[in-house]
Each structure stands twice: as C-alpha cells, then as structure tokens.
Amino acid sequence: MYRENWLERLEKRYRWIGFTLLLDLIDGLSLTLSYLFSKTITMQYPDREKWIPYPRFRGHHFLRKFENGDTKCVACELCARICPCQCIKVVPYEDEKGNRRPLIYDVNTARCLFCGLCEDACPVEAIALGQHYEFSAYDSKKLLVGKDVLMKMPGKTEEGGKVVRARLVAGEKVFAEPQGKEGYHWWNRIRRR
Amino acid sequence: MLDLFMTIFFMIIKVIGITLILLLLPVPLTWLERKVAGHIQQRLGPMRVGWHGLLQPIADGIKLLTKEDNIPIYADKTLFKLAPIISLIPPFLVFVAVPFGEDVTLFGRKTGLYISDMNIGLLYIFAVAGLEVYGVILGGWASNSKYALLGGLRCCAQLISYEIPLGFSVMGVIMLTGSMSLLDIVEAQSQIWNVVYQPIGFFVFLVAGIAEAQRIPFDLAEAEGDLGSGYHTEYSGMRFAFFMLTEYIVMLTVSVLIVLLFFGGWNGPFLPPIVWFILKVGFFVYLFMWFRFTFPRYRYDQLMSIGWKVLLPLSLANILITGIFLA
Ligand code: SF4
Ligand code: SF4
C-alpha cells in the first residue's frame, strides 16, 4: 500500500493554509509566466516560414523523365484504372520506334483524393506524388493539369519535415518560397510540464 | 485678466489631452492584451499588420467602423443607442479627479498634472465610477435578448456586492492619511508605500477592482461560455467598440487607483515621477491581463460568496485593525 510521506500528509491536513496564502493561484500564475517567456510554436507561414513536407508526403503529382527529357510513362493506363476517383485520363499513341507513349495525360487534381494509388500502380515509376502543396485556385478548371505541366512539377526532395525560412511571393501564383535548407522540427518546440 | 485667461487655457488643454490619451490608450492596450494572450498560449499573437502586429488595433478599428450597425427589431431603440454612451462617459469623468503627477512648470507657469484636486476626490471617483453600470444594465435591458438581459442582471448584482468591499478597503488608507484628496494620499506615501501598512486593504481592493472592471475571473456579465457575450451580445460595429473602450478605460482606472492609493503614486527613486507612474500603472495593467489568461471564470454563487463572505469581513477587519493601530 502506498504510504504518503510526512509532507504530503501535512499538506492534506493543513490545506487551508495553502488556500489562505493563495498558493494555488500563485502556482497557476507562475506556470503562465513561464509559458510567456518560452519559445512559441507558431509557424509564420507564409510570411517568414514554410513547412517542407516529408518525402512520403502525397502532394501534387509529377511525371518522371528520362535524361533526354521524355516522360517515363508508357501509357499502360494502370494508374487510370486503379484511380478511385477516375481522375486520370490517358490516351496512348505509337511513336515512330513503335513504342507506346502517352498522347494525353491529364490529372484532375480537383477530384483527386491524393491516395497515391496511381504511384503504387505504375510499373515504370513514372507518376508520383510530390511535396508541392500550394496549388489552390479560384477556378476548378485550372486544377485540370496536363502532361506538360506534370513534367515540369518539382519532384521529391531527399529530406523534409522541417520548417525553413521562406519568403511570400504574391504574384500570379501565391506561394512561400523557401530560403535555404536550415530548419527546425516544429514539434520540438512544444512545451510540456 | 491674463491670469484667468491662462488658467482657462491650461484647463482646456489638460481636458483635451486627457480625453485624447484615454481614447487612444486602448489601441496599444488591445495589442498588448493579444500579445500577452498569444505568448501565454505559446502563440505569437498579431504579427502581420505592421511591426509585430502593432497596427492590428487600427485595422480592427477600421473594421468596426465600417461594420453594419445592427439594431434588433424588438430592441428599445433609444435606450439601445444611449447605453454605450452612458457606459463610456463615467470612466472619462473619473479622470477629472485623478492626478498624474505634481506641479510642473509650463511656459513659465506652475500647473498641476491634474484637472482638479478635489478634497473629496476619492468619494467623487467611487460615486462616478459606480454610474458605469447603468450603461451595462440599460444595454442588457434594451437589447431585448435573454443573454443580454442576464448579463446586465449579473453585472448589476456583481457591482452592488463588490462596491461595498471596494469602498471599505480604501477606508484604511483614508484613516492613515486623514484626507480624501488623492494628492494628499500620494504625498503621504513619499517615504513608505501604503501597501506596507495596508496589505489586506490592497488585497481586497485588487480583487474587488478586478470584479469592478469586469475582468476574468469575475467577468460574469459577459461570460462567453454561458451568455454568448453577455450585455453586448446584440451590439455590433461602433457601439460595440464603445463597450470595448469602456472596458479598457475602467481597467486603466482601477490600475491607476491601485497605484495612487497603495503604491506611492509617482513617488520613486532616480527616475522622473511620471516614468515611475507609467511603469507602475503598466505593471498592474499587465497583471490584469496575466490574470485573464491564467484563471478560469468563477461560478455565480462563488462570486457572491467571495464578495460577501470573504472580502467584506476582510475589509471590515482591516478597518478595525487600522483603527487599533492608529489609536
Ligand atoms: S492519388 Fe489517388 S485519386 Fe489521385 S490521381 Fe492518384 S490514384 Fe487517383
Ligand atoms: S503513369 Fe505509369 S501507370 Fe500511368 S499510364 Fe503511365 S506508365 Fe502506366
């Protein structure tokens, strides 16, 4: 059985002393004061900081390319078949060497649920979901992206998960541009007492 | 003739100055409050408008000015429009009797940093400050909404219960000084602050003052959790801003009174008097904000029992003890 030590017993017995001296209130005040001077966990996105997702993050799609700039896609349509939202449209054609190539490769990112099944299904690792996530638009038609756009989309980076310094770019497209790679993990700043 | 003219001129300047200061002070205060709130909760608070969000209150002011001024259909229109103004005027009137420092020489003339040095200053302040509750009650009544009405009623009951310990707690100070003029009270503290002689009085005044200013943990009248936002639930736009303004000025009034009555006013070593005054008032304003983001709100019955069963006996005991020591 747990026996309280003498201090705890004293505290229990003479609790009114603490109440009279407002010790409980002082305890609360000192806690909030210590929080006042601790680091904040606010991520100043998009003005100064930006969170770079992990490589496993499922953001905007991109198509991988060969060295010569051609897409790796062989237009097998497996991605279109597995997609639960039916938002991929592939139209194949035969090029001069007799290879099957995509003539049209459209992804409707407005319908996409970013499940990543297309990435898993692809036999040649052509389509993949990258770390880009700032592509909201006022018109859902703008979210229907074609092959050219997909091939220009940024691919995956080696590492991620950190909050880095960034600059807000508010032009035709609005996004936060990362400045350098140095960063911190935001959850390291959560204070626990 | 010239003398009289100059006196009137100085008086007008002082009145305009204090009015402007009181109207503009809530601007930095709201900013400070949101910053304190943010950092206590490990956030940053306003950050985007101006340097560290300093211009945020101005942006909010513009927003409030341009918002629709909505009056509920079943509201009592006249009272509804009148209430914010009624609650705004008394806090300004209080500052007529509040001194900010001793005489200074301006343009070769001695003039006091106060509008009027009444010999019943404290009595006047409590009388006028008590009027503020009318605006709140009228606002709650005129809105014709159950939340607003409940807020007004709570406020009424709360202020009645807390005026009494508030008044009694300064009795000790008046007995020590033998005067009700705030100038005399501050002068009497040039050596030792009153808080040393009157710790109980200070405690009671602080708690009752927070209740009087309707701040957490005693903001029963506008408890967001149970009353929407109490007496100003139905208010919007500029009229709401008036209530906000009142709240901040009352908070300032209570801080100023605490400093004048218990913490030696502008007395202090090394620094100029006015700096001491601002520093002390600033500390108490900060204390109120600190309380607000630390404590939960008291229940209504707890509020009443604190007022009648704790503060009132304490303040009476304080008068007794002071009397015994003085005799
Ligand atoms: S991520 Fe899922 S929903 Fe989106 S395109 Fe790929 S398979 Fe379809
Ligand atoms: S992206 Fe991959 S799965 Fe989709 S059509 Fe091209 S090769 Fe096939």
Residue B227: predicted pLDDT? 81
Tens digits of residue pLDDT in B111-129: 777 777 778 888 888 888 8
**Chain B: residue nearest A34 by CA?**
B40
Q: Please list every residue in chain A whose beta carbon sits closer than 8 Å to the beta carbon of residue B293.
A: 32
Ligand 2 touching residue A82 (CB < 6 A) = no
- The pLDDT of A168-173, averaged and rounded, is 84
Residue B170, pLDDT above cutoff 70: yes
- B69-73, B113-117, B164-168, B176-180: segment of lowest average pLDDT: B113-117
Residue B158, pLDDT above cutoff 80: yes
To the nearest whole Å, the CA of A98 is away from the closest chain B CA by 58
Return the structure tokens found at B95: 């500052």
Residue B130: predicted pLDDT? 82
Residue B2, pLDDT above cutoff 80: no
Residue B106, pLDDT above cutoff 70: no
Percent of chain A with pLDDT over 90: 31
Using the beta-carbon criterion (under 8 Å), do A191 and B295 form an inter-chain contact?
no
Nearest to A32 among B38, B47, B294 (CB): B294
Could you tell me the distance, in angstroms and rounded to a whole number, from the CA of residue A68 to the centre of ligand 2? 18
To the nearest whole Å, the CA of B44 is away from the closest chain A CA by 6
Percent of chain B with pLDDT over 90: 7
Size of interface A-B (CB pairs under 8 A): 42
Residue B56, pLDDT above cutoff 80: yes
Confidence of residue A190 (pLDDT cuts 50, 70, 90): confident
Could you tell me the distance, in angstroms and rounded to a whole number, from the CA of residue A108 to the centre of ligand 1? 9
Q: Is the ipTM of this structure higher than 0.85?
A: no
Residue A37: predicted pLDDT? 86
State the CB neighbour count (10 A cutoff) for residue B126. 16
Confidence of residue B108 (pLDDT cuts 50, 70, 90): low
Mean pLDDT of chain B: 85
Task: Identify which of B24, B164, B159, B137 has the alpha carbon closest to the alpha carbon of residue B76.
Answer: B137
Residue A161: predicted pLDDT? 84
Confidence of residue B45 (pLDDT cuts 50, 70, 90): confident
Mean pLDDT of chain A: 87
Could you tell me the distance, in angstroms and rounded to a whole number, from the CA of residue A150 to the centre of ligand 1? 14
Using the beta-carbon criterion (under 8 Å), do B41 and A35 form an inter-chain contact?
yes
- The pLDDT of A2-14, averaged and rounded, is 77
Which position has the token pair 């400070």?
B32
Could you tell me the distance, in angstroms and rounded to a whole number, from the CA of residue A157 to the centre of ligand 2? 22
Residue B70, pLDDT above cutoff 70: yes
Using the beta-carbon criterion (under 8 Å), do B43 and A47 form an inter-chain contact?
no
pTM assigned to the model: 0.82
Q: What are phi and psi of A17, to 5 degrees?
A: -65, -45
Confidence of residue A193 (pLDDT cuts 50, 70, 90): low
Nearest to B44 among A31, A33, A42 (CB): A42
Using the beta-carbon criterion (under 8 Å), do A32 and B40 form an inter-chain contact?
yes
Percent of chain B with pLDDT over 70: 97
Could you tell me the distance, in angstroms and rounded to a whole number, from the CA of residue A71 to the centre of ligand 2? 10
Q: Does B295 touch chain A (CB under 8 A)?
A: yes
Using the beta-carbon criterion (under 8 Å), do B48 and A31 form an inter-chain contact?
no
Residue with the smallest CA separation from ligand 1 atom 3 is A112
Chain CA centroid to CA B146, Å: 27
Tens digits of residue pLDDT in B190-224: 888 888 888 888 999 999 999 888 888 888 877 77
Residue with the smallest CA separation from ligand 1 atom 4 is A112
Residue B131, pLDDT above cutoff 90: no
Ligand 2 touching residue A150 (CB < 6 A) = no
- The pLDDT of A99-104, averaged and rounded, is 91
Q: Please list every residue in chain B whose beta carbon sits closer than 8 Å to the beta carbon of residue A29.
A: 290-291, 294
Q: Please list every residue in chain A whose beta carbon sits closer than 8 Å to the beta carbon of residue B36.
A: 36
Name the amino acid, one letter, at B269: P
Residue A91, pLDDT above cutoff 90: yes
Angle between helix B121-129 and B77-94 (nearest 10) = 160
Q: Please list every residue in chain B whose beta carbon sits closer than 8 Å to the beta carbon of residue A41.
A: 42-43
The SS3 assignment for B272 reads coil
- Identify whether the C-beta of residue A104 lies closer than 8 Å to the C-beta of residue A91: yes
Residue with the smallest CA separation from ligand 2 atom 6 is A73
Can you spell out the DSSP letters for B55-122? THHHHHHHHHHHS-----TTS-HHHHHHHHHHHHHHHHHHTTS---SS-EEETTEEE-SSS---TTHH
Task: Identify which of B269, B112, B123, B216 has the alpha carbon closest to the alpha carbon of residue A25.
Answer: B216
- The pLDDT of A71-98, averaged and rounded, is 91
Return the structure tokens found at B301: 């019955």
Report the distance separating Cα B134 and Cα B200, nearest Å. 30
To the nearest whole Å, the CA of B193 is away from the closest chain A CA by 22
Confidence of residue A26 (pLDDT cuts 50, 70, 90): confident
Query: Best residue in B34, B283, B294 to probe A by mutation, most A CBs within 10 Å?
Result: B294
Cα distances from B168 to residues B60, B126, B221, B313, in angstroms, run 39, 11, 23, 10
Tens digits of residue pLDDT in B277-292: 889 999 999 999 999 8
- What are the residues whose beta carbons fall under 8 Å from the beta carbon of A97, sequence distance 6 or more? none
Looking at chain A, how many residues does it have? 193
Residue A82, pLDDT above cutoff 90: yes
Residue with the smallest CA separation from ligand 2 atom 3 is A122
Q: Say how many Å lie between the first and final Cα of chain B, rounded.
A: 49
Which position has the token pair 């209570």?
B254
**Chain B: residue nearest A21 by CA?**
B203
Q: Does A190 touch chain B (CB under 8 A)?
A: yes
**Chain A: residue nearest B288 by CA?**
A29
Task: Identify which of B127, B126, B205, B118 has the alpha carbon closest to the alpha carbon of residue B170.
Answer: B205
Report the distance separating Cα B217 and Cα A9, nearest Å. 31
Residue A58: predicted pLDDT? 92
Residue A84: predicted pLDDT? 94
Confidence of residue B157 (pLDDT cuts 50, 70, 90): confident
Can you say whether the dihedral through the CA atoms of B283, B286, B288, B293 is positive or negative? negative
- A21-25, A141-145, A165-169, B322-326: segment of lowest average pLDDT: A21-25
Tens digits of residue pLDDT in A124-140: 989 999 888 888 888 88
